A and B are shown apart, each in its own frame.
Chain A
């Protein structure tokens, strides 16, 4: 259809400021959120160049990557992180940027805090010097993960210089079974498209599965977009989005809310809009997913097995063999029943209140298996408070889980939280790369339901068996 535009096209064209001499397009960044692992370097470069932050009022600093999550933490609880936390604080203050610091009641992981406070809005652009910036696409925002020099560029100019990506729509058909959630859907999509299948595209997730999802689930879905190589993933905003945002502290209110709402209703893709590629995936038969290898695409249903080498494409055999050896698995090994050493529930992927509620429902009245270490790290101090108001912390600690302060913790493992070599970890995070959670650590990515079930059983188990629903 002539003139029909996708959600992505609409946000891109509204934010297109100009075209540089080298052909790059300048896209205005409405909300720029920084974190302690990379921002200190950018602040320093900016100071050395004698440049100021262009829009400190649209820029926010989160202390999340190098912070301890131990109760009563200070800057120095994780000694190696203290320099980052302090440099972040000082750089932010020097540039009049609001810091969500340790002790701030709204501190947390940037990709959790920005949506929950209503800072990020449908149709807005968003940048974070972190590849999981794509998370906030769940609200219908267009987000870009970026490097440190790009971060400095945005600080100085409030725009990012990009080549326009292509458009890919992923239609998710059907209805999810009980205990199957956004994480499982996302892992399944990655298995389908491959770890570089999204490269060069902005991905729009659509279809009845997405429409039925809560905002927290959409944030989880979009979070894993980068694991297919795509910088941006987004979901068209709808009434679920608007109801979720209404009344959030940084969202517009009054007449401005009404005007915003009218604008947001124009954002969904037009009928007949052009996509460079379209993929349809039926999710009806999907089971809870678990990764068996060292890439998020190496995934199967919880009742599944690691692949037999004969079933793998010849070009992938060596890599598969290497992944299996790293994971301590034989070809064709069943995943169910493998002993688990550690469980981590948290991260920008799965640390929002509904994630914790799912895990708590499984943990309630049960005990963590002897010898297993289980951690729950809320995605933000706000989530932590809300969970405590519902008594979830008590359920977890009674069961033997550790209940932490908010931060990235064992997702990036840049705060000292790691597992021991060869430990098998069930983790609700986003990367099962070699050594991601510590040297030799065997990470299986799962959703919160499988993670909690494994903590109780002491082994990989189909949560539906544990709860008597299968």
Chain B
């Protein structure tokens, strides 16, 4: 058989090890290098507790939606509906509070339930109708955008949003730490535990890693995939709620741009520490890179267009690193 594989490019053990190290630690080294660089260039504005807290506070929403997306990609699917879903849920939660005068906790619970429903819908379309997840979630996401415009009639819900609702995102209820950071930390900790330390998490990893083997091992592959979409949908809903609370309004398409940022974070993360495998800790590191990168650009007053260029470049580099890691793991 050696003749038949001789044509394949084989990496030597040493260059493989070196490449593997590079791929695994490139993101972390990049993050540290960036923080050092910005600190040297702007010692007064950048390396301060205030700035770091701000960066983390702003990144919290990205981290929550990206952690949710991580669950969808770990089970081997993509969820492109999350940005649109978050926008809709932001409008929905303000609408329920302002127009329907529901108590805030009730409105939040309803909206997170709606997020789970959107995830369930995505999951059913993908597993039962066998629609490719890119198409399925793009379709569902577009429908959600339509619903968002229908619900808000295209006009942002601004008036009558109670301060108590704004306080969720803006408050610092425990030890002066911004609520966003605490909420993000709990979500991330919960999902990390779920994936890494529970039996469901083992099944989730198995389904993403080799669906055929998972199925023959007796795992209900469809159920696990649907669960991945549901968690992704709930995280998108939570992000939408927190964004509405931060903006003080429900606006159609307010959260749409989270989609690309979340993808960049997830793929950067998959290139981190593990060879091209998606995981929660990686996603958080990916999100930090993006957050500090944009923060640095802001501090140096870089023009708006450069942020788009950076975002696109990060996405491409992230996916490239991720597939490099995978090909090394498989070679």
A and B bound? no
Contact surface of B with A, Cβ cutoff 8 Å: none
